[in-house]
């Protein structure tokens, strides 16, 4: 018997919210100031202590899709900013990160 679609959506939404909170806490622990967003394009902005660099972060669960990459690459940012996709797989505390500069070059 298959799972109720509403329950599955709620469970995935709860997992995504937990992942977003954990990602923001990860940046806070590294000394960044975190400003939440609506996650339409990105989940939050993180600014370093010196206020010289900023990162726009999109948080996803399970896998990074072509759509996620497209959304991040379409985001226009300044030269002192970067874009990052943070992905947390099911039952893992480890992050998979894809970081891009303002020209959409991978920074890893």
CATH number of the domain residue 95 falls in: 3.40.1350
The pLDDT score that the predictor gives to residue 38 is: 76
The continuous run of DSSP H or E covering 81 comes out as strand 81-88
Instruction: Tell me how far apart the alpha carbons of residues 103 and 70 are, in angstroms, rounded to a whole number.
Output: 13
Specify if 76 maps to a domain.
Answer: yes
Specify if 34 maps to a domain.
Answer: yes
Specify if 64 maps to a domain.
Answer: yes
Number of domains observed in the structure of the chain: 1
Specify if 43 maps to a domain.
Answer: yes
Domain range enclosing 28: 5-100
Q: pLDDT per residue over 34-81, tens digit each?
A: 999 877 889 999 999 999 999 999 999 999 999 999 999 999 999 999
Nearest residue to 97 via CA among 108, 86, 83, 82:
86
Specify if 70 maps to a domain.
Answer: yes
User: In angstroms, how far is the first alpha carbon of the chain from the final one?
Assistant: 43
Q: Does 1 score more than 60 pLDDT?
A: no
**pTM for the model:** 0.87
Specify if 106 maps to a domain.
Answer: no
Q: pLDDT per residue over 9-30, tens digit each?
A: 888 888 889 999 999 999 999 9
């Amino acid at each position: 018997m298959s799972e109720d679609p509403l329950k599955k959506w709620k469970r995935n939404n709860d997992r995504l919210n937990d992942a977003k909170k954990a990602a923001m806490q990860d940046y806070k622990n590294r000394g960044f100031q975190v400003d939440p967003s609506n996650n339409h394009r990105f989940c939050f902005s993180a600014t370093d202590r010196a206020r010289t660099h900023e990162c726009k972060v999109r948080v996803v669960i399970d896998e990074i899709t072509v759509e996620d990459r497209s959304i991040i690459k379409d985001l226009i940012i300044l030269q002192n900013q970067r874009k990052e996709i943070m992905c947390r797989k099911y039952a893992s505390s480890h992050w998979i990160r894809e970081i891009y500069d303002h020209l959409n070059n991978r920074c890893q």
